[in-house]
Amino acid sequence: MSESSPAQPILTVRGLTGRIAGQLVVEDVSFDVAATGVTALLGRNGVGKTSTIRSILGLIDRTGEMSLAGTRIDRLPTHRIVQLGVGYVPEDREVFGGLTVAENLRLAERDRSPRRDEVRRLFPDLHDRRDQRAGTLSGGQQQMVSLGRALVNENRLLLVDEPTKGLAPKIVDEVAVALAEAAKTVPILLVEQNLAVIRALAHRAVVLSGGRVVYDGEASDLLDDEAMLRRHLGVHDAGEAA
């Protein structure tokens, strides 16, 4: 897998195993995230994609070896990992509903000179609603807040979990555009169900099945292989998803 990576991978994961309340949710997973572009993490529902991301961040109990740009992170607490330059956009957005939009963004600022203008340019709507409670926003607007919280800092890696889940097609496009723009400067590990979005964004793909990695390679090779898609993602027509 190394010959196709342009440089050292930004994140290496070896033998990652995660547990929730003693139950295995991620079992012995190993893969790399390339130093540039978007690496898609794929697999059927419930295969452990979200748990993998949460294990990387130490949000659930995990063992294994993980390095971020050469720094071992498997023994670090979550906040230290994030401080190394990891932006996290969680599944279901997890905005703080009782805080205003501005407070949500302010809370996320880690850098000395946060990129507020950048976020404002990407999501002008958020600026207009800065004093509104995030809990009263629509799902799409909440996703903007969640993305904004990650993009307001200079990151070395973005972990983005199902950013288009449950959103209207128009909003999906906006999210995809924002991610494509971000991907120019920062590598992204992306969990996504929407094949059209993957096709548009992903350079590489890692497929999980039964808690293990069953494919690790070029995204285009995977997307062109219908048999593979059907077997591991349960997709009947590769072009089906919106």
Q: Which stretch binds another protein (CB under 8 A): 26-34, 82-90, 164-172, 222-230?
A: 82-90
Nearer to another protein, 61 or 240 (CB): 61
Residue 94 sits in the site that holds another protein (CB under 8 A): yes
Nearer to another protein, 96 or 231 (CB): 96
How far is Cα 49 from Cα 42, in angstroms, rounded to an integer? 7
Residue 88 sits in the site that holds another protein (CB under 8 A): yes
Residue 78 sits in the site that holds another protein (CB under 8 A): yes
Binding-site size for another protein (CB under 8 A) equals: 24
Q: Which of residues 162-221 bind another protein (CB under 8 A)?
A: none
Residue 68 sits in the site that holds another protein (CB under 8 A): no
How far is Cα 17 from Cα 25, in angstroms, rounded to an integer? 8
| Burial classification of residue 160, based on how many CB atoms lie within 10 Å of its CB (0-12 exposed, 13-18 middle, 19 or more buried) | buried
How far is Cα 6 from Cα 25, in angstroms, rounded to an integer? 32
Among positive and negative, which fits the CA dihedral 58, 54, 39, 48? positive
Residue 103 sits in the site that holds another protein (CB under 8 A): yes
Q: Which of residues 4-63 bind another protein (CB under 8 A)?
A: 21-22, 57, 59
Query: Taking a C-beta distance cutoff of 8 angstroms, is the pair 46, 101 a contact?
Result: no
